[in-house]
Structure 1
Amino acid sequence: MTIDHGHAHGSGGHAGHAHGVSAHADRRWLGISLVLITVFMAAEVAVGVIAGSLALLSDAAHMLTDAVAIVLALIAMRLAARPAGGGFTYGLKRAEILSAQANGLTLFLLGVWLAVEAVQRLVSPPQVRGGLMLVTALVGIVVNMAAAWCIAKANRASLNIEGAYQHILTDLFAFIGTAVAALVIVLTGFQRADAIATLLVVALMVKAAYGLLRDSGRIFLEAAPADMDPDALGDRLVAQPVIVEVHDLHVWQITSGQAAMSAHVLVEPDGDCHSVRRHLERVLRHDYGITHTTLQVDHVGEDTEAGDLLQSTSPTAGSAEHCDDAHGPVYRPGPNGH
């Protein structure tokens, strides 16, 4: 049996870095955001207590999670930059995905807590100092716009940085809602506006949390990239010249923006295994952006009686001679290839 392993490694890392955003620049922008948020958060806690506003205190609590999210992102970036070695054959690239999942989970749990508090205040609304609440919210909008702008300058193709960005963006919407609620309280005296604004923010938090948990969960479960159809990819590969069958096709993400693929490819008896592998690597790199590939290429019937694979009508027969436990569909040329 002849086994060819093709490994192609991209040099750009994440998609954003390939467009000129360096990891050092990412850390600088995140650091600036962290300073802005931390300073304002300390002031907001004091004002929220004085004004008696749950919306302000919830914004401050959310800003604390913003700060934690950015710290996690910075730590994860340093871990992910470490070279592969020892038992971590991919390095620690998925530390960024752990950070994104932690961000999503904290957003969700904080949203649940705030929802409970807001409902209690709807039932029995306390007195809120609307004027102080309004001024603080307006300052918060400016601070969060500046922080969001800083993080937007970093590489948002990274799910890790996107997680921190979602925290900041949700907080920006929260301050807008708080400002509107404060204006309502000042003009009409309707105290429940504070709790209603909090519930609207909770809805945004849950939406952002769901997106982060879903995307990071897909990576941990070794799912194919969301924009890629593995069946269409298998059909595309098996349609290439001299290829008889493709099976054990796996597509997954090592981390956000870095896909990998492996497959077992069977070619015609007189086919050139090396040429086929190189051609498939070019297709995967240019058309699908997959730069880390492991392809095992064999001649059909190499370890079986001549013609067994071609004559088989079972969708999995023949493949077992090459793979004791083949996974997933088998792709063969023709309209009913798999």
Structure 2
Amino acid sequence: MSEQAHPPHDHAHHEHGAGCDHEHGHAPPVDADNQRRVFWAMLVTGGFMAVEVAGGLISGSLALLADAGHMLTDTASLALAWFAFKLGRKPADNARSYGYQRFQVLAAFVNGATLLAIVGWIAVEAVGRLLNPQPVMGATMMAVAVLGLVVNLVAFRLLHGGDQHNLNLRGAALHVMGDLLGSVAAIAAGVVILTTGWTPIDPLLSLLVAGLILRSAWMLVRQSGHILLEGTPSHLDIEEIKRELPAAVPAISDVHHVHAWSLTAERPLVTLHANVRTGADHSRVLQAIKTHLSERFAVEHSTVQLEPGPCADDTREDGCRDANKP
């Protein structure tokens, strides 16, 4: 994880304005509620994990064992998500000028990658079971799966009530949702086995569950990876910002060196340079730019460099140029 949350450009005279949020290290208040929800979901999931592992081993059900293995990783994943929220609430310091909130995104990436690995494991095991069928104790499988469904519903309800824009919480909820689907699949497989004796339904439903969580897991990895790579937030268009700001704030003639990234999925950040026309009130121009970024693009923190003349970066000997241009 980068210690610097934006590209290292030499913006020599940043102006933030009176309304600017300088508290980079303060986590949003909603994170306290998210942290509490993840903690209780972790306890519920971890407490049932041992029961499901034992049930899967006794019954010989792959669907139940797959769900149990998933719950094992879920307990660790929920613990990681809880720790990420706890760490994210620490204030900024000299080593982490933006605080520790980005760790939530890293936790979401790890959780997503773990889900992808679980999907792969389930697929391999399911194919093996289809090629070499094994006996399954449908009654034991059903009993443990029903109890697991109740536990997963409780955990999912806890997490679903939190902030769904938070990638860390979404990663935790996705793990639990996978467990919930696994319990449903195990119940369905148990019904089929008890009524027909057809055991291939167990690995087939396991493959179905793996397919259902694959897309969501990939989306989580892609979105969190995009943030970790300082990618432009999906709702922001840099070229649109360059076009709109001079029209919305007539006192500026040009906007350049625009960079946009996210501290977390909920906190987009922008830096930019703006050429100011002669005689304009810099304080009012600055406030107008920030107001437009906030109201039009939902950017609550921006770093703006006002320039009365040519861009200082473009005239430096090192040939610094706008990174947005090819």
TM-score between the two structures when normalised by the length of structure 1: 0.85
Aligned to 2:315: 321
Does the alignment pair 1:42 with 2:50?
yes
What secondary structure is seen at the aligned counterpart in 1 of 2:302? strand
Q: In 2, distance between residues paired with 1:247 and 1:40?
A: 55
In percent, how many aligned pairs have the same letter?
32
| 1:249 correspondence with 2:258 | yes
Residues 302 and 35 from structure 1, CA distance in 2 versus in 1: closer, same or farther, beyond 3 angstroms? Answer: closer
2:305 aligned partner, one-letter code: Q
2:307 equivalent in structure 1: 298
Question: Which residue in the other structure is 2:207 paired with?
Answer: 199
Q: Are the structure 2 counterparts of residues 41 and 3 from structure 1 closer, same or farther at C-alpha, using a change threshold of 3 Å?
A: closer
- Are the equivalent residues in 1 in contact too, given 2:92–2:99 (CA < 8 A)? yes
- Post-superposition Cα deviations, 1:182-233, rounded to whole Å, max 9, x if no partner, equal 1111111111001001111111232222011111111011111112222212
Which residue number corresponds to residue 183 of structure 2?
175
Contact 2:64–2:182 under 8 Å retained in 1: no
Which of 98, 107, 129 is equivalent to 2:137?
129
The 1:286–1:123 alpha-carbon spacing in structure 2 relative to 1, beyond 3 Å, is: same
The yes-or-no answer on 1:282 pairing with 2:294 is: no
Contact 1:271/1:299 (CA < 8 Å) preserved in 2?
A: no
Q: Give the whole-Å Cα distance in 2 for the aligned partners of 1:203 and 1:60.
A: 17
CA RMSD, 1 decimal: 2.3
Q: Which runs of 5+ in 2 are unaligned?
A: 1-11
Report how many aligned residue pairs link the two structures: 310
Q: Is the 8 A contact 1:10 1:291 kept in 2?
A: no
* Amino acid paired to 1:101: F
Pair 163,267 (structure 1): closer, same or farther in 2 beyond 3 Å: same
Q: Deviations over 1:51-84 (max 9, x none)?
A: 0001101100101111111100111111111111
Distance 1:51 1:140 in 2: 15
Aligned counterparts of 1:101 and 1:94: Cα–Cα separation in 2: 11
**Equivalent position of 1:149 in the other structure:** 157
- 1:126 is paired with a residue of what secondary structure? coil
Matches within 5 A, 1:1-338: 3=13, 5-6=15-16, 8-9=20-21, 17=29, 22-239=30-247, 240-301=249-310, 320-321=314-315, 324-329=319-324
Counterparts in 2 of 1:126 and 1:217: CA distance versus 1, 3 Å = same
Deviations 1:208-261 (A, max 9, x none): 220111111110111111122222122111222122111110011011201110
How has the CA–CA distance of structure 1 residues 274 and 80 changed in structure 2, closer, same or farther, with 3 Å as cutoff? same
2:34 and 2:85 in contact (8 A); partners too? no
TM-aligned CA deviation for residue 101 of structure 1: 0.7
Where 1:246 maps in the other structure, the secondary structure is: strand
Distance 2:216 2:23 in 1: 31
Q: Distance in 1 between matches of 2:227 and 2:324?
A: 21
Q: Which runs of 5+ in 1 are unaligned?
A: 304-318, 331-337
Aligned structure 1 segments of 4 or more residues deviating by more than 4 angstroms: 10-15
AA paired with 1:184?
Answer: V
The answer to whether the 8 Å contact 1:273/1:299 transfers is no
1:290 maps to amino acid: V
Q: Distance in 1 between matches of 2:264 and 2:159?
A: 19
Give the match for residue 313 of structure 1.
none
Change (3 A) 1:320 1:131: same
Secondary structure at the counterpart of residue 16 of structure 2 = coil
Distance 1:161 1:219 in 2: 15
Quote how far apart the aligned CAs of 1:153 are. Answer: 2.2
SS at match of 1:34: helix
- State how far apart, in whole Å, the 2-side matches of 1:168 and 1:98 are: 19
Deviation at 1:302, TM superposition (A): 8.4
Relative to structure 1, the CA distance from residue 301 to residue 95 in structure 2 (aligned partners, 3 Å threshold; closer, same or farther) is closer
What is the CA-CA distance between 1:27 and the residue it aligns to?
2.6
Larger CA Rg, structure 1 vs 2: 1
